[in-house]
Amino acid sequence: MKKIVLLIVALVLASSIASGQNILERLRQRGREVIENVVTGNNNEAEQPEEEEEVHQSAPVANGWTCAECGHAGNTGKFCEECGAKQPTGEAVAATWDCPECGHKGNTGKFCEECGAKKPGEGGAAAPAKKQAQIGYAKTDFVPGDEIFFDDPVEGEQIGEFPSHWDFLSGEECEVMTLDGVQAIKLSGWCSEITPLMKEADYLPEEFTIEFDVWSNTFWGSSNNDHLDLILLSEEYDPCVRVGFNPAGLGPEEEGIEGHTDLFYDFKSPSGDVREGSTPGNTIEKYFEPGTWTKVQVSFNKRAFKYYINGNRVVNLPNVAKPTRFKLSSVSNCDEKDRFYIKNIRMAKGAVPLYDRLASEGKIVTYAITFDTGKATIKPESMVEINRIAELMKSNPELEFEVQGHCDATGSDAVNDPLSQKRAEAIVAALVEQGIAQARLTAVGKGSHVPIASNSTDEGRAKNRRVEFIKK
């Protein structure tokens, strides 16, 4: 540029002071040549930019370079593919790589900066990998018992009458009502206590499960005295365990009502001393939704007691006295629409280990895999049992199963047969997702054609609604 300026000045001076036509013509010609060379890039005499650092182009790197401006890794051109920043100048950019062991990105040395794994393709001994803490626990581990001995869906009951499968203990009378078109038992008044109507006084075995659905609309500011207690009783009718299902106050405080956000419980140990505890509200409140059906589940295994809300374990007691019966106790000081309603009450003997069942019977019968009504959609809580089956098959790679879906006699064969087939196929698909080879599984829908109990009772129909894994 300096030469161009000088030439222009020279031209002006030459035109004003030079008298010779030949000198002026030579200057003009020389100016045109310089300008043309600069424009076309052919000016070999042009000076380099003053004080500009020498640019070193680094050779392309297999894993690219990392942008210093935005941190984007893996760039291969001269400019960042994310923000457009120019590749750094100076020394060649070091290649980065992603660890195939732990997935850590942006490593530059021979070993992963996170776990110490060796860079792929590098020779020599690897640095010792950092020890990773393996933390695991299951909050959703409920498995229903194998043998159902009480089942009351509350369907087909006479509206307005006392439920036929229950006995009245104290308080105000309960009755069968409909809630949004669904039949349920309404626990009425200030206090109501009911218990299953059983032939034997002491009917709970050493291992058992209890399940029921409960509906309450008291989540948002109703009386904090409202609660539904599940009480397990000993032979002397003393409480072994009392767990208060108390959703009242799980929302914001309203009208001066203090929310009881904790779930309280007390229990008796085998030695006879009484203990108590609670589960914090911030742990349990996320499992509730007001105005919807909530699943409550209990498991007892010799001395261990567990209590679940919507499949999530919220009470875990290791040393409890053995109960022999149970009751439900309701305290409700609110309007009728906000009282407790229950349905789908079921008791079953405790689960036998899967491999023991398979060894003794050649099959596994389970009631822990359930579906949405009239559909082949597996309920989320069923994955506990499906995962157990998957682990059994992984531990015994020779096992192959015919997965059978069974229905009760409710409904026609035109509906039950294809539905049971789709449900069996859904279970197979779920096991394949857990890593079991498709070739080891066969789906068969049996409909209601192979009952194992009478379809004339609720308990019989409950036993017929099952999934069987038949060893091939």
Shared domain check, 345 and 230: yes
Lowest mean pLDDT among 183-197, 324-338, 347-361: 324-338
What's residue 266's pLDDT? 86
* Whole-angstrom distance, CA of residue 325 vs CA of residue 147: 17
Instruction: Encode pLDDT of 36-52 as tens digits.
Output: 554 444 544 444 444 44
Instruction: Encode pLDDT of 339-387 as tens digits.
Output: 788 999 999 998 777 777 788 788 999 988 988 888 999 988 788 889 9
What's residue 311's pLDDT? 84
Name the more confident of 319 and 172: 319
Shared domain check, 358 and 330: no
Name the more confident of 383 and 258: 383
CB 219 within 8 A of CB 349: no
Domain that holds residue 468: 352-472
Read off the amino acid at residue 181.
G
* Res. 404 pLDDT band, cuts 50 70 90: very high
Q: Which long-range contacts (CB under 8 A, 24 or more apart) does 7-12 make?
A: 7/31, 7/34
Per-residue tokens: 51: 């004080």
DSSP strands (E only) in 90-220: 147-152, 166-171, 175-179, 182-187, 191-196, 207-215
* φ, ψ (nearest 5 deg) of residue 2: -60, -40
Instruction: Encode pLDDT of 103-132 as tens digits.
Output: 777 777 777 777 677 777 665 544 444 444
Domain annotation covers residue 120:
no
What's residue 43's pLDDT? 47
Domain annotation covers residue 133:
no
Cα 245 to Cα 231, 250, 307, 309, 347, distances in angstroms: 11, 11, 10, 9, 19
Instruction: Encode pLDDT of 134-176 as tens digits.
Output: 444 456 678 888 888 999 999 889 999 999 999 998 887 789 9
Shared domain check, 323 and 189: yes
What sign for the dihedral angle of Cα 443, 448, 449, 450?
Answer: positive
Shared domain check, 369 and 336: no
Shared domain check, 340 and 263: yes
* Whole-angstrom distance, CA of residue 309 vs CA of residue 386: 20
* Res. 466 pLDDT band, cuts 50 70 90: very high
Shared domain check, 157 and 233: yes
Shared domain check, 243 and 146: yes
Shared domain check, 300 and 164: yes
Per-residue tokens: 251: 């929302």
Shared domain check, 178 and 238: yes
Q: How many structural domains are present in the chain? A: 3
What's residue 256's pLDDT? 41
Shared domain check, 298 and 401: no
Shared domain check, 443 and 296: no
Round the average pLDDT of the chain to a whole number and report it. Answer: 76
Domain annotation covers residue 303:
yes
Cα 30 to Cα 2, 24, 25, 34, 39, distances in angstroms: 15, 10, 9, 6, 15
DSSP conformational letter for 62: T
Q: Which of 379, 370, 365, 214 is nearest to 295 (CA)?
A: 214
The highest-confidence range among 31-35, 55-59, 74-78, 322-326, by mean pLDDT, is 322-326
**CATH assignment at residue 251:** 2.60.120.200
Per-residue tokens: 313: 């374990």
* Res. 198 pLDDT band, cuts 50 70 90: very high
Beta-bridge mates of residue 118: 111
